[in-house]
Amino acid sequence: MNETNNKTIPYELLSHEETEKIKDFVETKKVRVAIYCRLSEEDRDKENREDDSTSIQNQKLMLTEYAIRQGWQIYGVYSDDDYTGADRNRPDFNKVLKLAEKKEIDIILCKSQSRFTRELELVERYINGLFIEWGIRFIGLVDNADTDIKGNKKSRQINGLVNEWYLEDLSDNIKLVLKAKRAKGEYTGGLALYGYKKDPERKGHLIIDPVAAEVVREIFSLYAKGMGKTAIARELNNRGIPNPTQYKLQNGIAYKIPNRLGTLWKYSAIASVLSNEMYIGNMVQGRYGSISYKSKKNKPKPKEEWVIVKGTHEAIIDMDLWESVQKKINANFKPYVTGKIGVFAKKCKCKYCGYILKTSKSHEDRYLRCPTRQVDKSECVGSFIAEKVLQRVVLKELNDLIKKYLDADQLEEKVILNDVKNNKSQVQKEMLQYENNINKYNKALKEIFIQKVNGSINQEEFIFLSEDLRKDKQNVEILLAEKQKKFLELNNEQAMIQTRKEILKKYTNVTELTREMTENLIDYITVSRKDPISKKKEIEIHWKI
């Protein structure tokens, strides 16, 4: 309704001239733009890795000039050099997404949609979905991708589909090139195998690294003389010989920096060296394959699919020593009688160093022990526990959990669910109150807006009144967001209780643990050594349920 006493009128009754005045006022607010650039595969023209490529420089210049011409405030310029459009872990890409989610920017400006992402899934999730929900405008300057243009969505989706095909074709082409190179015996790995280095004179060829090769020869020699893999690892650690990762770091070869214990030789590293056919001069590649072109995760391939080309490089180990070691490995191989994965395989960690406990067997009993302690006593005090003892502890705690959530007499589950429902009801009431308050602030802001346009209040009065209202509104919006988060948490808790109940029902009255049970119920277990005073071990079970 029109309130003539304060000269406020509904928007629909504004004249054209008054509407234009409001538009002019709104447009005086600076629009914040985040400029995002990315180097594509075909743009690699840098002399140094740390430099910006010419492509990135040109993108920044073009987009900066465009933003200035539009009168926008440049919030920041973000660029990912040496990253593909399918890489979801691009640092600056994720920074821009966080800025958008927090609404610290109004526009994301790119050279094209493909520079932002080549994945159709991300186009739909962000450009056609969340950005619109968050009130963020996306602009791809060259390909005219603009979320503010009506009817532009279909062209953005077509561009996304074309880019998706491009990624798939690119992945297939790369695989074909790598396959052809491997078939010719060319080395395609990023880093050379320990004991070798890449030949600077011949691409795809390996030459011997004298220092590392000597360690490889010693590992083979010690094993052939009867020393076990753990004992060899301990010997190398005691002498301060760096493991392959540490050796690469010391020699300035790009490598992921490990934690302190990651620099030790372990049983697994020795086993890997002793079984690698590359050390007799044969090129062995293709042992792992990517899950898909969208993922960096790899999975092992069966040996019959490996690409093996004989005599491609100089051997470190002669055939007599190699065959002697392989016979010894096969003779010492003792598979478990059951032929199955252990109940706690890869589930137990040492409390002190965090490494997965290794399974061993003695007199038909199985034990879990810390591998770090075995190879270097100075690095970890070590954990140790009999598997049957751990089984008893886990079964007891599992039965306690089942009793807690399924005991009909105690009705604990009903009490928990009722508490959750009551909390949800209270949070909903508070959310509704905050939403009503926000609507009141919006209405008040509209009213003083129109009063400013009609001349009822001057610019100074308008700024004074609107600033207070906006601050109050922002405070209520923060409170509402917190309640919405709490409501979601309560929803998840309610669903989790129901899910937990269904899972635990399945394992009621069990008397023996199985691998399926530990896989479904347990995330991981930490185990300590026996306390010298209490004579007890500290066992902490991290349940999935």
| Domain end residue (candidates: 332, 353, 386) | 332
My answer on whether 147 and 262 are in the same domain is no
Per-residue pLDDT of the chain (545 residues; tens, 9 = 90+): 333 333 333 444 445 554 454 445 444 457 899 999 887 654 444 434 444 455 677 778 778 888 887 888 999 999 887 777 667 888 899 999 999 999 999 999 988 888 888 777 788 788 888 888 888 999 888 777 888 876 555 565 565 555 555 556 555 666 677 788 888 889 988 889 999 999 999 988 999 999 999 999 999 999 999 898 889 998 999 899 999 988 988 888 766 666 555 678 988 899 999 999 999 999 999 887 665 545 556 677 888 889 999 999 999 999 999 999 999 988 876 544 444 567 888 889 888 888 888 887 777 788 888 888 777 777 788 888 888 899 999 988 888 877 776 664 444 445 455 666 677 788 888 888 888 888 888 888 888 888 888 888 888 888 888 888 888 888 888 888 888 888 877 777 666 666 666 777 777 778 888 888 888 888 889 998 888 888 888 899 888 76
Query: Cβ distance 40 to 115 under 8 Å?
Result: yes
For 269-321, write each residue's pLDDT tens digit: 999 999 999 999 999 998 876 655 455 566 778 888 899 999 999 999 999 99
Identify the residue whose tokens are 């009490």.
415
In a domain, 369, yes or no: yes
My answer on whether 315 and 352 are in the same domain is no
The confidence score (pLDDT) of residue 510 equals: 80
Bridge partners, residue 35, by sequence:
77, 109
CB count in 10 Å sphere of residue 303:
9
Greatest alpha-carbon pair distance for the chain in Å reads: 105
The confidence score (pLDDT) of residue 444 equals: 86
β pairing state of 365-369 and 358-362: antiparallel
Left, alpha or beta for 289 (phi > 0: left; psi -120 to 50: alpha)?
A: beta
Three-state secondary-structure class, residue 156: helix
My answer on whether 394 and 434 are in the same domain is yes
Q: What gap in Å lies between CA 342 and CA 346, rounded to an integer? A: 9
In a domain, 7, yes or no: no
CATH number at residue 112: 3.40.50.1390
β pairing state of 384-386 and 73-80: unpaired
My answer on whether 387 and 245 are in the same domain is no
| Domain end residue (candidates: 136, 170, 204) | 170
My answer on whether 344 and 316 are in the same domain is no
Query: Cβ distance 307 to 183 under 8 Å?
Result: yes
Task: Give pairs for 506-510: CB < 8 Å, separation 24+.
Answer: 507/398, 507/402, 508/402, 508/406, 510/395, 510/398, 510/399
The confidence score (pLDDT) of residue 172 equals: 65
Domain around 214? 196-332
Angle formed at CA 332 by CA 331 and CA 338, multiple of 5 degrees:
105
**Closest by alpha carbon to 120, among 170, 168, 59, 174?**
168
Provide the Cα torsion 227, 233, 238, 241; round to 10°: 120
User: In angstroms, what CA-CA distances link 307 with 177, 184, 314?
Assistant: 14, 10, 18
My answer on whether 52 and 36 are in the same domain is yes
In a domain, 2, yes or no: no
CATH number at residue 286: 3.90.1750
My answer on whether 354 and 285 are in the same domain is no
My answer on whether 144 and 222 are in the same domain is no
In a domain, 238, yes or no: yes
The continuous run of DSSP H or E covering 368 comes out as: strand 365-369
| Domain end residue (candidates: 133, 154, 170) | 170
My answer on whether 239 and 90 are in the same domain is no
My answer on whether 90 and 125 are in the same domain is yes
My answer on whether 362 and 495 are in the same domain is yes
Query: Cβ distance 145 to 113 under 8 Å?
Result: yes
CB count in 10 Å sphere of residue 160:
23
In a domain, 91, yes or no: yes
Count the domains in the chain: 3
**What residues have CB less than 8 Å from 446, skipping those under 6 apart?**
11
Query: Cβ distance 390 to 527 under 8 Å?
Result: yes
In a domain, 24, yes or no: no
Orientation angle between helical segments 412-454 and 459-506, nearest 10 degrees: 160
My answer on whether 152 and 98 are in the same domain is yes
**What residues have CB less than 8 Å from 170, skipping those under 6 apart?**
41, 293
The confidence score (pLDDT) of residue 152 equals: 58
The confidence score (pLDDT) of residue 434 equals: 86
The confidence score (pLDDT) of residue 124 equals: 79
In a domain, 10, yes or no: no
Query: Cβ distance 279 to 266 under 8 Å?
Result: no
The confidence score (pLDDT) of residue 212 equals: 94
In a domain, 184, yes or no: no
Angle formed at CA 366 by CA 364 and CA 370, multiple of 5 degrees:
145
